[in-house]
Amino acid sequence: MPMGHTATAQAGSGGLTATEHRLANGLRVVLSEDHLTPVAAVCLWYDVGSRHEVKGRTGLAHLFEHLMFQGSGQVKGNGHFELVQGAGGSLNGTTSFERTNYFETMPTHQLELALWLEADRMGSLLAALDEESMENQRDVVKNERRQRYDNVPYGTAFERLTALAYPEGHPYHHTPIGSMADLDAATLDDARSFFRTNYAPNNAVLSVVGDIDPEQTLAWIEKYFGTIPSHDGKQPPRDGSLPEVIGGELREEVHEEVPARALMAAYRLPHDGTRECDAADLALTVLGGGESSRLHNRLVRRDRTAVAAGFGLLRLAGAPSLGWLDVKTSGGVEVAQIEAAVDEELARFAEEGPSPEEMERAQAQLEREWLDRLGTVAGRADELCRFAVLFGDPQLALSAVHRVLDVTAGEVRAAARAQLRPDNRAVLVYEPVESAEPADEAETDAADDTDAHEGADK
């Protein structure tokens, strides 16, 4: 049986506990009992994302996320979806800069099925991976890129801003979707090598949360995952460190068919997992987190120069995080007017910091978001995996709320003063252009229906 230890409830965890175990092949296992409802969540994080890719082969991590739903040694075609949904469960997978995850939420009595399915594709996916499935999913991913990036208003904003914020050659310079050229260039051998290197038990964390019997759950995990061999050929990701401040504003103007002018910006912020990152999160929440925020009150309510104004945080562990500003203008308002108001509000905040009421409201908002995540079996399973993969300790997930509430107003002000500055941002300005040939109604309807049949689309 696996070796492991039992954790006691930590301060700030709300009484939640988790136990940690490790199989002989290196698979890390995290279990958390919750008998409130008769369901169990299975979450599997692989320590591979777009930051592990090399130039000329971007998009492989995301492509492989799709390939993992195309059959394995004992499950053919779309069988993974069919078996889980037929048992009353739900499932999906996602890819980011820093990881690829797969997850199921099942009725308790179907937990064994989910574990068997995940083990089967971890241990035997190469038995089913062929040119046909490769071409099929290559086309699906390319179509996803068209629908979600290339052919929608502001669709390439995230890609453009990350390319500005992280210099050429940086592991976060490209986004997980990858480029069309690289997707076309990927070969079956590339995919097989990628799987062997990254989809090994010693490169993964498995969490199971919910109405479980830990002893029985561990027995199933050992039975299905224990014989899968480890792999030692993976190289660490390239160094993602950068100076704390960009040192000068980076700017790009985009002329496209968009509904309104827009100002978007990415500010370089502290790495995830640090107290400074939590302070920055609170600063962004006060400034742009909802309808009570400073930017919404200034731009949307008072000045009426914008129809939407928000500020959010993209947390990253292996590179500086990004503070993401997104403002859509109202009517014919010029972006320069919006930008001047934003800079005025950021400068005032850096000088004054948050008021006691703003601090209390921001901490309550982030506390609620954390408790919402930890309060569901699927959300808790995901967070336990995240902290295990990115920070080496799943127990940190259970005390994250406490760490946010421990940040002071002075630290929030210091975070804003240090990094919410014009010389520490990449800026994207959208200017609308007229369509030369407007699409007719039939063409628009057809475009809206393109992904209706893609049950496995992620």
Active site residues: 65
CB contact set of 230 (below 8 Å; sequence gap of 6+): 25, 26, 200, 201, 202
Please compute, for residue 13, the number of CA atoms within 13 A of its CA located in the half-sphere on the CB side. 18
- Please give the Cα distance from 234 to 402 (Å, whole number): 35
- Please give the Cα distance from 458 to 446 (Å, whole number): 21
In angstroms, the Cα distances linking 132 to 4, 199, 282 are: 42, 21, 48
Residue 140 corresponds to which amino acid? V
Bridge partner list, 22: 3, 28
| Crossing angle between the packed helical segments 79-86 and 111-124, to the nearest 10 degrees | 170
- Please give the Cα distance from 434 to 437 (Å, whole number): 9
- Please give the Cα distance from 98 to 46 (Å, whole number): 9
Tokens linked to 45: 């994080």
- Please give the Cα distance from 192 to 186 (Å, whole number): 11
